[in-house]
Chain A
Amino acid sequence: MKPVLGESKARKRPLSGTGFTPFIIRRLLTSILLVFGVTFISFSITQLVPGDPVAANLGQSAYSDPEIVAAFEKEFGLDQPVPVQYYKYVTNLLQGDLGVSLSSKRPVAEDLKEYFPATLEIALVAVFLALIVGLLLGIISAVTRDRLPDQLIRVFSLTGVSMPAFWTALTAFYIFFFVLGWAPGTGRLEPGGEPPPTVTGLFTIDALINGDFSTFKQAFSYLLLPAIVLAIYAVGVLTRFTRASMLEILGNDYVRAARAKGLPEFTVIRRHVLRPALLSIITVAGVAFSSLLAGSVLVENVFSWPGLGQYAYRAAVGLDLPGIMGVSMVVATVYITMNLIVDILYRIIDPQMKDSA
């Protein structure tokens, strides 16, 4: 539901200073403030709703023992007043401490270190696939505007964004795993398969670093299907966005001028249309990427993919506040960082750019 999906231009924020350095500093500060805004809002909303995290995380007998309940509350600071809890959360956060998860009883940072790379891995592959397919379809769509290929691609991309991801995942799993037996099962590796020594946490990359090709192949075969399912949505978004940005540029005078010069159509498209459009397309890919991180919740559920989405789901139904905040922070930080990078890139490319919103 975010505009993200191809339709945000967060870069158009008011700029009042002119120098490059003040600009960077200002943008950095805003970004950090945004991250704190995210902690504040997630904290308040989760506090406003009822629900008893203690009962959620203690068993039958333990919950009826007041001593055990008190010990649990003390351990996780739940006996403190809410503002104190938030103050503590923020001061700890400044030291890089995200608190302890109520359900896994581990530091949230440790949990995220484990689950985030798993999601990152499928999301990266998904965005990569979506970028290739989306660019291709978008270009075809734009140059054949309103003719049959354009119409077909339009229906195709609309279908992509209309498919319920959890159902797509289920159907794909049924066909490729159950019926055809092409895809391996659930999870990231074979049963008892040893993960490569952790460097990045991405099994494929770590396996390559370690020169272990059999693990690489295994990890890759496991991640392909979830990544494709995740990519379907992003393909729709990127196709539509590519088409729109290209059409916008195709209408410009200099494109007409280039055509008038008698340049071959292919060259016109490549040099005068695609190149200028590329940056904004990549922007959207970046933003779509951060929304894939959150969108993975429904897909990971089907593939038992031990990633951020599964972690978020468990945290949410377990009313595990530190867990929920941790996930929100990570996804928000990725989104904000993407926007920051894009802003800076635009500023470098076009220093004259001014607020136009």
Chain B
Amino acid sequence: MKLNFKSIASIALSSAVVTAGLVALPANAATKNLTVETVFQLTSTDPARSFEQTGNMINRTLYETLLTYKGGDASTPVPAIASKWKVNATATEFTFTIDPKAKFADGTKVTSADVVFSLNRLKNVKGNPSSLMNGITVAAPNASTVVLTTEKATPQVLAIVTSPALGILNSKVAKANGASDAADAATADKALEFLKSQSIGSGPYVLKSFNLTTEVVLEKNAKYWGANKAGYDKIIVRNVPVNVQRLNVIKGTSSIAVDLSPDQASGVGSKVNVVQGKASNVFFFYLSANSGFSPATKFTADPKCVEAARYGINYNKIVRYAGLGAIQAPGIIPSFFSGALKQKDAIKQDSARAKAAFDACGIKDTPVSIGFWGDGGAVNGLSFASLAALVDEDLRAVGFKTKLAGAPIAVSLPIYRANQEEMGLWLWGPDWPDSTNYTESFSPGTKVGLRMGWVAGQDAVITDLQTKAATETDPKKRAALFTSWQKEMNKRSPLIPLVQPAAILVGNKSVKGLSDHPIWKVNLSELK
């Protein structure tokens, strides 16, 4: 007999068992279970309030959206609740026809009222993902048609409606349990707890149990309306540290390990598949100010200092650290999005140029600090602290007097967001899978632009490209605009894209249909 804790426990207990008598254990009917292990990035299973990776993965399966993507694709929307859709020429009006077969798990038909309710609720609860609905109005001309309108051309609406945050709830049940889509939903909506106890969507699985720290269990929706029925009786999504994920998937204790780095995925053995995709996250470095600035002054980094940093960083070393499948990020837009730059466009380290630029830059002996997510923060297996240490070494070689200033996300993020970092190392994951997300976030005067000390009106060329890209509807012209925007950014912006890590999924060979998706990582519905 192999000695282990279980056997020690059973020896210790045998006497107790004898006195208590034999207890019949319920026989387990053969059920097909899937165990998915990940480090939880989860707040709830309320679509309108959840915007984290694990939440997206689970909600994508519980709640269907109007449109969705198949497999690892994030560019061609396919029907989900909407069987047909139409976009007007100016990309301001989007008409969706609801599939007449679509039914919620309790058998109720999905109507346009449910869609309007769910989308307005998302907008009005003012939760984390609510900003996805900015500028979008929802209307229902009849029971099977939904129309989304925007004031200016917004071609990315088709991408936005695939976000799990726009999942469709059964409005009757939701309202009966405290949900509200009214303007004051931020305070009036009381459905959060209810939505953690059960799901009211139309997906192939329903929520069985929810625990924020240990596991979320999904159960087959026996009455699923679609063609792709659930492949498993139960899906268990567990919160497990990365190193244990690796071990469990090798041992076969779990079916899928979500968070391994390429490094950890190597040498996992022959019993498992390693699925490789490109992560949608891009790590970037930026210089906001030269030094000693106060946030009130809109003080931007000296272009020469930026140039010194841009050409001083050893990108090859960073890509090697990131491991197999990772690539240098030539621009901030990830490789699989429209208008992404090619590897040949990427900046290459040029120490001589960097040193020359540094000599012309005004900071010399002034110490500057680099902010980042410090308490062990890691995404796609890459730790911010290690990346920061790599960049730090290169910048010091150029002449910068850098000092690393990492902090827990709760502390470092506010500093970054308040434009109070001199330099920062962060990453951007798309809010919706479309290149506009980048032009609208990194241009002068936009969200991240401001954090980098890049105010509106600072660069007319880049702003012009940004505006054009936002309203252009022709796919080819859009792509060209995104490319030029990034090239200009690489010349003058304080932004230095570093690395696009590999996204790795490791799954037991028995699991079919595994592919890595940039937004919801694993499409649980597709697994058989």
Contacts and interface: CB of A to CB of B under 8 A. Distances in A.
Direct contact of A and B (CB under 8 A): yes
B410 A192 contact: no
Contact of B417 (A55, A72, A224, A319): A55
B129 A224 contact: no
Interface string A189-213: 0011000000000000000000111
A356 interface: no
Given A63-B417, A213-B23, A71 B5 contact: no
Given A59-B51, A191-B253, A211-B20, A221 B9 contact: yes
B8 A224 contact: yes
Contacts of B411: 51, 56, 319
Contacts of B202: none
Contact of B414 (A52, A184, A214, A306): A52
Interface string B26-56: 0000000101010000011000010110000
A106 interface: yes
A117 interface: no
A318 to B, nearest CB: 5
A62 B6 contact: no
Contacts of A176: 5
B401 to A, nearest CB: 25
Given A56-B409, A187-B240, A191-B254, A62 B129 contact: yes
B130 interface: yes
Interface string A44-64: 000000011111111111111
A12 interface: no
Interface in A158-185: 176-178, 181-185
B28 to A, nearest CB: 11
Contact of A183 (B5, B131, B248): B5
Contact of A61 (B12, B128, B414): B128
Given A182-B4, A183-B5, A191-B238, A67 B413 contact: no
Interface residues of A, number: 58
At the interface, is chain A mostly helix, strand, loop or mixed? helix
A317 B131 contact: no
Given A187-B238, A191-B236, A319-B411, A61 B9 contact: no
A27 B454 CA distance: 62
A54 B126 CA distance: 13
Contacts of A221: 4-6, 8-9
Contact of A106 (B12, B193, B240, B447): B193
Nearest to B234: A192
B215 A191 contact: yes
Given A63-B417, A191-B238, A191-B254, A105 B192 contact: yes
A-B complex: 4 closest residue pairs judged by Cβ atoms: A56-B410, A55-B414, A71-B186, A317-B408
16 contacts: A53-B410, A59-B129, A60-B417, A60-B447, A61-B129, A68-B186, A74-B186, A105-B43, A188-B214, A191-B236, A211-B20, A212-B25, A218-B6, A221-B8, A224-B9, A306-B214
